[in-house]
Each structure stands twice: as structure tokens, then as C-alpha cells.
Homo-oligomer: A and B are copies of this chain.
Amino acid sequence: MATIREVSRHANVSVATVSRVVNGNKWVAESTRQRVLDAMAELGYQPNSFARSLATNKSEMIGMVVGDLTGPFYGPLMQSAELVIRQAGKHMIVTAGHSTLEEERDAVDFLLKRRCDALILHLDRMPDEEIIALCDRESTPIILENRLVPELESCCIRIDNEAGGYLATRHLIDLGHRKIAHIAGPLYKADARDRLAGYRRALEEAGIAFDERSVVEADFLEPGGAQALERLWRRKVDFSALFCANDLMAIGAMKHFRQKGKAVPEHCSIIGYDDVLMSSYVEPALTTVRVPVDEFGIQAARLALSICDGTRQEVQTCFSPELIVRQSTTSFG
């Protein structure tokens, strides 16, 4: 692989000049520039990004950690973020935290060591204090995705999950339901806690007593939804509507209902959360709360980019969820 020095010899100029044409510096005569360009082409010269980054202390890449490299949430998130990063002439480098503290640390470490110009982090397990310490310690700009750390509010791109939980529950209440159960996500995740809080607020506001027994914690996965439903039944709680903290669990619960010969929504209304692709395919199509995932990725990337180049332009940092009414919910009675 040709180096800048070989090019310089080939073109009969100094390395400095070659560097100038590579970087589009205007202080170089057109004739020399052409000569250098030719030499570069002839030798198939590719600048070494390590050397460049070592010298400039910039990597031209934005790091991103997501929970998983797959799935209906993270996929579109990465996709949309990459689009705007690429448009800015930079590149994105993703790594997965797998909802494990250790892996999350490892992922962040990797990106930091790689000297990314900025980091977009979707962290499930890392506690607030650790994140704050991280931001204090490192000079790399950090964006927090889908999470609110009060001390770092201006770096947080998130959705109002409490409002989403409220919206979902309120929809059921508006349909006349009074006995509403909730399958929560894993409560170590802020999303899950916030949605639960929204559920409680809606109930209280409607003068319905909150009952601990009507809430069961599950894992955001489909089989978990069915199991959770089973637990509700075993507890003998009586409910005509069910708010699931995400679509996967809602689908799991719905399937379980039908397996037991009970119709949805006739026997029980079900509402999910996320509006993943599948939700419009299942039968009955799932009523749910839509999260603007694409916008999420776009804004996070914009924010990161703008911090990098100094122009800390304003971006929307808190998104509102939206109710998507389909066939899995119906009025009570």
C-alpha cells in the first residue's frame, strides 16, 4: 500500500504538498495539484486513517451502542442515524451492549478507545452515576438515547414514556374499561418504569384504585407475555382490558388468550407499545402506542454531529408518543 511519501517522490513534490491536495487545501498551484492527483491515481494511494487520526486526534466517526444489532426497534434506529451521519461525510460504528452491564461497559470502552468524535449511547444497565462519571471523565461528547439522566438533560434524546403509558391506559378507560391489568417490562429499564407510572397516573386520574396484583413484571419478549397472562389468571385478578408495556408481550398474551379459546377484543381488550412492524400483521391487528424510532435516530445523530463541529444546533430532544388504534381494543361490555 502506497504511502504519502511514495506519492510525493512520484510527483516530485514534498509530502506536505501531497497532504495539501489530499485535504483540499487551496494554497497549491493547479499544475502541481494535477501532478499529485496523477501520482495518487497511478499508485492507488489510500490515506492511512490511523496515521491521520493520530495526527489530528479526530476519527471522523460517530460511535453508537445499541441493545442489540437486531430487532424492530434497534434496526430502524441504526438505519436512520447512519443515514444522517453519512450525509455529513462521517461514518458510524455500532456495537451492542446486550443489556448487560459488562458488555455495555465494554462497548463504550471500545468506542472510546477508537477515539470516536462523539458517542450515541443506548444503555439499559449502566446506572446514572456511572454515566455521569463517564461524561465527566471523557472529553468525547456523549448523547444519551432513549433515556433521561436529569443531570445530563441536554444530551438526552428520549420519548416521554410516562405519557405513553398514560395514553395507552387512558384509551382503555375512555372505552369504558375500569378493570385494567398491566404487563410491565423488566423494571430495571427506565422505559418499563415510566410506562408503569403513566398507567398509574391514568388510573388515579379516573378514580380507579391502583392494585398491585393487577401488575406483573415480564421481560419484553413474546413468551414472557403469555407467561405473565397466566400469572394474572392464577392470581384470579379480574380484568376486561390489558395494557402490555410492549408489542411483543402483547402479541404473546393475545395468542395465549386465543389458545385458551377466549376472543380478543371481545373477551379482553389488549393494547401494546412500540408499534413494531409485526403489530399490524397479527390478527386482530394490535392497538398500540407508536414511538417515532426513525426521528429518534435522526435527531440523535444531528445532535452528535452538531456538537462535534461546534455548532450545537437545537434539536428536538423529547418526543411524544402517539396512539395507534387498531382492532385489538373495543369498548367495554
Interface residues, chain A, CB within 8 Å of chain B? 1, 44, 46-51, 53-54, 59, 68-71, 74-76, 78-79, 82, 91-96, 110, 112-115, 137, 139, 251, 277-278, 281-283
Contacts and interface: CB of A to CB of B under 8 A. Distances in A.
Contact of A44 (B74, B95, B110, B137): B137
Contacts of A75: 69-71, 74-75
Contacts of A74: 75
Contacts of A112: 46
B53 A82 contact: no
Nearest to A72: B70
A91 B110 contact: yes
Contacts of A282: 281
A277 B251 CA distance: 13
Contact of A278 (B91, B114, B139, B278): B278
Given A49-B115, A278-B278, A282-B281, A79 B54 contact: no
A54 B1 CA distance: 13
5 contacts: A50-B51, A50-B115, A51-B54, A70-B76, A82-B95
Contacts of A278: 277-278, 281
Contacts of A46: 112-113
Q: Which of A46, A47, A74, A114 has the most CB of B within 10 A?
A: A114
A49 to B, nearest CB: 5
Nearest to A52: B50
A277 B137 CA distance: 42
A46 B114 CA distance: 10
A265 B48 CA distance: 58
A281 B251 contact: yes
Closest 7 CB pairs of A and B: A70-B75, A69-B78, A50-B54, A69-B79, A50-B53, A70-B79, A50-B50
A79 B113 CA distance: 22
Contacts of A79: 68-70, 96
Nearest to A1: B139
Given A75-B75, A281-B251, A114 B49 contact: yes
Nearest to A78: B69
Q: Which of A70, A82, A92, A93 has the most CB of B within 10 A?
A: A70
A181 to B, nearest CB: 23
